[in-house]
Every structure is written in C-alpha cells, then in structure tokens.
Amino acid sequence: MNTIIVSDLDGTLLDNRTYSFEAARPALETLRRAGIPLVLCTSKTRAEVEFWRDRLGNADPFIVENGGAVYIPQGYFPFRVPRAVSRDAYEVIELGSPYEELLATLEAAAREAGCRVLGFHHMRVAEVCLRSRLPVLQAELAKHREYDEPFEILSDGAYRLLEAIERRGKRWTRGDRFYHILGNNSKAEAVSRLTALYRRTFEQVKVVALGDGWNDVDFLKAADLPVLVRSPYAVALKRAVPRAVVTRSPGPHGWNEAVLEAVAA
C-alpha cells in the first residue's frame, strides 16, 4: 500500500500566525526518507505554492486555489496526463473557471444583492498584507490569481450575495480569513483526479488528508484517513467529518504528530 499525504498549508503545515513549519521538520524528513509524496492542496496561488515548495524541498504535484488546477511536474508520472495542458515545467489539469469570469460574477452578484464586497483585485499589496497578515513578498504572490478570488463582505446582505453567486452558476467557500468565489471545482475533485493518476502508477494507494478549515471539508471526507489539525473550528468540523482524527496540537505541531502516526500505522 502506497501512502500519499495531501495537506492544506495555512493553519495546518504552516503556523497560522508565523507561517513557520519548523515544528513539522521530523515528519517532513520521515516523508523524504520514505519517498512518500506530499501534495500541497490549498487556496493559495501557484506562485505562493512554488514559494513554499522551494522552502520545503518539495517536488510533488500540487493543487491551487481551492481545486482550480492540479500542477504536475513534467515527467512525474510514467505516462502523459490525460486532458492536461503543458505550461512551463508542468502538466496542468485545469478545473476552475477563468479569473476574469469570476470577478465579473462577483461584481454582478454584489450589485444584485446590494452588498458591498472587497476582493483581492481591489486591494493594493499593503492592504493584502494588513488583512491577511502575510509578509509583503507573499502578499504579492497571493495577487497572482487564476481560478479563485478571495473577498470580504463589508455590509449586510451576505446571504443574498451568496445566493446570487450560486444562481450565476458559481460556487463559494470560506477559509480562515476570507470568502472565496470559484467555479465548479473543489479540492475534493482535484484530489480525486490526482489520486486516480497515483493509482494508475501504484495500484493500491492510501490517501491521508490534513486540513483545519471549512474549505477542507470536501477533500477530507473523500480521504482514506482524514485528519483535522486542531483549530477553533475543530468541534464543528468533526461533526462535518465524523471519521476524522483530531490532533492534540494546532498547526505544524499537530501536523507533525498526525503524519508520524499515519506513516507508522
């Protein structure tokens, strides 16, 4: 049985306040020694994930912008990836709607709902830093969006706004800090597509998924072993994913604990 680790970043592998992954180093080194893939599955952009992959020494596929696309390094699998497009050093499975289409939908839904919103495309880098607590470089990378727009709701009418988004054939989800508008994509669908490629390679695959927020619920439900990294939402999330194991510690401390236990099992 080949194990695949699929993990969210913020509040999971990365500390929600400092963005450090230092406490997860023992588990990361165990994965490296064992040759176990670590697939990053996040609301972050390709540019942001590449930043973190470089620091983690990670060379596995990754999933961006809440399942908007799966990026697979060229030659990673011993076959051409079906329905993928070549882009730079990757084979890309695109699942999301074009970014400009999402912006137009958000603006139209906000007008219909009489609801004020503030999307990333409205914000300067300094404002992204302030609202997300990201360092300047990472805030710049967070604005390089392709398939998902984070936004804040600044007035009454949130329910009307979200309904208006759905009527226009788009979806929304909520992360730790922002709402997100997206197409008919999800982290679960992206993980399912990637898992099928691993199964074509290894036949028997066990997916261990780790997350800490509401936008992780769909792919946690689909995993063989779902892990909730402890957060303020852990009790409610456990009700949403009853099979999930909840870590004792939050952030990279909990991630380290869960990954070491899953690999040893």
Question: Which positions are annotated as active-site residues?
Answer: 8
Question: Quick one: tokens of 211?
Answer: 């997350």
The number of CA neighbours under 13 Å toward the Cβ of 105 is 25
Give 207's strand partners: 4
User: How long is the chain?
Assistant: 265
Give 76's strand partners: none
DSSP code of 23?
Answer: G
Helices assigned H by DSSP within the chain: 25-34, 46-56, 99-113, 125-132, 136-142, 158-167, 187-202, 217-222, 234-240, 251-264
Report the distance separating Cα 159 and Cα 19, nearest Å: 32
The number of CA neighbours under 13 Å toward the Cβ of 93 is 22
